[in-house]
Amino acid sequence: MQKFLKLKSIPAHIPLMNIDTDMIIPKQFLKTIKRTGLGKSLFYEMRYDESGKIIDKFILNNEPYNKSKILIAGKNFGCGSSREHAPWALLDFGIKCVISTSFADIFYNNCFNNGILPIVIDEKSIGNLASYSERKEEIDIDLEEQKISYGNNKIEFKIDPSKKKRLLEGLDNIGISLKKIPRIEEFEISLKKDKPWI
Amino acid sequence: MPKTLYDKIWNDHLVHQDDEGNALLYVDRHLVHEVTSPQAFEGLRMQGRKVRRPELTLAVPDHNVPTTDRSKGIADRQSKLQVDTLRDNCKEFGINLFDVNDKRQGIVHIIGPEQGFTQPGTVIVCGDSHTATHGAFGSLAFGIGTSEVEHVLATQTLIQKKSKNFRVNVNGNLPAGVTSKDVILKIIGTIGTAGGTGHVIEFAGDVIKNLSVEQRMTICNMTIEAGARAGLIAPDEKTIKYFENRPMSPKGENWDKAVESWKKLFSDKDAKFDKEVNINAKDIEPLVTWGTSPQDVSPITGEVPDPEKETDLDRKTAMYRSLEYMGLKPKMKISDIKVDRIFIGSCTNGRIEDLRLAASLLKGKKIASDVSAMVVPGSGLVKKQAEEEGIDKIFKNAGFQWREPGCSMCLGMNEDQLSSKERCASTSNRNFEGRQGRGGRTHLVSPGMAVAAALKGYLADVREIN
Ligand code: SF4
């Protein structure tokens, strides 16, 4: 997994609440057996019309937003299915950070397993950042400092220390957990005794 | 200290917990399907890792499988590749698979309980958000992403933070025509699609107690639609009875031991919940959704809401967008909405009791001539049971198509899809834009309400079927 340290980009703003995983990556793209290549299908039904032609007015189809690394969206982002294809599609498109007032649980977790930083901030801060998106100005994200800077302003954000560490170091969870095998074995021994039917 | 049911199962599965509250949770049962697993197996292969406890994982292809004659195999090249990949992976890593032509094949959340693979008090995970379904048996069950599937395969554990405790009490008597589908739609309509975020919801109260275990599954199934991590219902005599003699249920002396431990699975009397909501059964009517979020519910006797009356600006924008997508006008009567398709099936309402109920209402009648309707049983065994009871004939005689088991038009990954602007009364769980096919319009309903719509050709009141 790639490390996440700092990020600078003009953010793209999609002012919709409840953006669900079917919107982020529709089911016809779930048939892949790979993690890559989904970027061109991100937000497919909003990006292309029924004949597959690009819809001009959709923000990610336009300069400079087609190169945005930061997405700003309405509350409850990522609700719906557990499909990790959603963060894979965002990442493949180039988005490494999503900012919202709230996220759905499974999506939020999935981000950290893919080196994407989901940031929760309040409604007013979203408004401030959205105006930077509109003016096509860059914002800066510093994970170590837990700060978003825009112009001369700063927004601080909260993040779980262990999740932060994983992003900063690009750590693989499985590797970490495999170090705990002796504890897992111990657990399994008592499980076998207490609940032999498992 | 008094504990909730969630607290008890959680504590029972803690392998390790660090100072920040990150827990390593033991996973007793792992379900796998073809869509969210290929990249996990690929990850194991790339790192040279093995599956730690292959016997605790059960795999089944369900999302991509055709629901028509399967003797010719899967026509869609990509769907076939995914199903073939699952087969190869199961073989390579030694995992039990119910393959496409196995009579036990079906939707992952239906076959788990059916086989007794699902059990009370266990931690169950699957790369699928509707894993919450298994909570109906008092197991802590939730959906995970593919990286986590890989983590479970490699370690039989999962890294988790504990959620908060939320209890929803439903008390009173359910009015005629109201089913567990309406109960859960009412709950989602009340607390909203993000109402349960960060929580595990325990459903309690006499209405829940009086439901059959299959009806309880419908409630837990849609817990994720309220944003909660998992839904839970304390097991009782009905639950225990359900697991008697299932193929993978504990046997002999182990059965007695298991039952003894299952009886301890309840929230203590004074257990603390971070949040609690009470719903009175008499306030629940047969419901339908009018929008593109499961919280957009209305009684069948009601009207499409007017976004102008909404004070929250974001919500207002979302409502206008929904209405435009759904092709509906504010204030029109719900019963004036004409439907083209009917879908009875999915892990929400594809079980034998759902089919029995629908068939009892349909018996001897014909569906509206301009409606196309299909039933997709949740598993091969549900299908077989229904055929033994003659339920398939009732459906077929009424004009329904009787299909092979799978997810089908719940999400339309196979060829069962709505075309653009087609409107469907569906017993599934999601009415998101494009969920059942690009441009397709979904109204979520109970099986009885699906039959009412099929007969009338409009969204209709199940209480008016005579
Ligand atoms: S029936 Fe629908 S909700 Fe259930 S597992 Fe299949 S696709 Fe998911």
Task: Supply the ipTM of this predicted assembly.
Answer: 0.92
Across residues A177-182, what is the average pLDDT? 95
Q: Residue A172: pLDDT band by 50, 70, 90 thresholds? A: confident
Number of C-beta neighbours around residue A67 at 10 A: 12
Across residues B139-163, what is the average pLDDT? 97
Kindly state whether residue A189 falls inside one of the protein's structural domains.
Answer: no
Predicted pLDDT of residue B19:
87
Which tens digit of pLDDT belongs to each residue from A10-31?
999 999 999 999 999 999 999 9
**Residue B106 and residue B65 in contact, taking contact as beta carbons nearer than 8 Å:** no
The structure tokens listed for A190 are 């008592």
pLDDT mean across residues, chain B: 97
Which tens digit of pLDDT belongs to each residue from B402-411?
999 999 999 9
Across residues B349-355, what is the average pLDDT? 98
Across residues B316-341, what is the average pLDDT? 97
Predicted pLDDT of residue B395:
98
Kindly state whether residue A176 falls inside one of the protein's structural domains.
Answer: no
Kindly state whether residue A110 falls inside one of the protein's structural domains.
Answer: yes
Kindly state whether residue A197 falls inside one of the protein's structural domains.
Answer: no
- Give the CA dihedral B130, B380, B124, B205, nearest 10 degrees: 60
Find out whether the beta carbon of B410 lies less than 6 Å from any atom of ligand 1.
yes
Q: Is the pLDDT of residue B322 over 90?
A: yes
Predicted pLDDT of residue A171:
87
Q: Which of residues 150-189 of B touch A (CB under 8 A)?
A: 150-151, 154-157, 159, 161, 163
Percent over 90 (pLDDT), chain B: 98
Predicted pLDDT of residue B466:
83
Kindly state whether residue A180 falls inside one of the protein's structural domains.
Answer: no
Which tens digit of pLDDT belongs to each residue from A44-85?
999 999 999 999 999 999 999 999 999 999 999 999 999 999
pLDDT mean across residues, chain A: 96
Predicted pLDDT of residue B37:
98
Residues of A in contact with B85 (CB under 8 A): 33
Which tens digit of pLDDT belongs to each residue from B61-99?
999 999 999 988 999 999 999 999 999 999 999 999 999
Predicted pLDDT of residue B299:
98
Q: Residue B40: pLDDT band by 50, 70, 90 thresholds? A: very high
The answer to whether the Cα torsion of A18, A21, A27, A28 is positive or negative is: positive
Q: Name which of A127, A121, A123, A120 is nearest A105 in CA terms.
A: A120
B250 in reach of chain A (CB within 8 A): yes
Q: What is the CATH number of the domain that holds A142?
A: 3.20.19.10
Indicate the top mutation candidate among B343, B429, B436, B442 to test ligand 1's pocket, ranked by most ligand atoms within 8 A of CB. Answer: B429
Predicted pLDDT of residue A156:
98
Percent over 70 (pLDDT), chain B: 100
Kindly state whether residue A190 falls inside one of the protein's structural domains.
Answer: no
Beta carbons of A82 and B430 less than 8 Å apart: no
Which tens digit of pLDDT belongs to each residue from A141-163?
999 999 999 999 999 999 999 99
* Reduced 3-state DSSP string for chain A: CCCCCEEEECCEEECCCCCEHHHHCCHHHCCCCCCCCCHHHCCHHHHECCCCCECCCCHHHCCCHHHCCEEEECCCECECCCCCHHHHHHHHHCCCEEEECCECHHHHHHHHCCCCEEEECCHHHHHHHHHHHHCCCCEEEECCCCEEEECCEEEECCCCHHHHHHHHHCCCHHHHHHCCHHHHHHHHHHHHHHCCCC
Which tens digit of pLDDT belongs to each residue from B200-247?
999 999 999 999 999 999 999 999 999 999 999 999 999 999 999 999
Predicted pLDDT of residue B72:
87
Domain residues for A127?
6-170
Kindly state whether residue A139 falls inside one of the protein's structural domains.
Answer: yes
Phi-psi region of A124 (alpha: psi -120 to 50; beta: other; left: phi over 0): alpha
**Residue B38 and residue B128 in contact, taking contact as beta carbons nearer than 8 Å:** no
Predicted pLDDT of residue B55:
98
Q: Residue A1: pLDDT band by 50, 70, 90 thresholds? A: confident
Predicted pLDDT of residue A2:
86
Indicate the top mutation candidate among B65, B79, B109, B403 to test ligand 1's pocket, ranked by most ligand atoms within 8 A of CB. Answer: B109
**Smallest CA–CA distance from A109 into chain B, residue:** B145
Distance CA B235, CA B257 (A): 15
Across residues B437-459, what is the average pLDDT? 98
B266 to each of B5, B94, B238, B239, B262, how far by Cα in Å? Answer: 5, 35, 14, 13, 9
Kindly state whether residue A191 falls inside one of the protein's structural domains.
Answer: no
How many separate domains does chain A show? 1
Predicted pLDDT of residue A67:
97
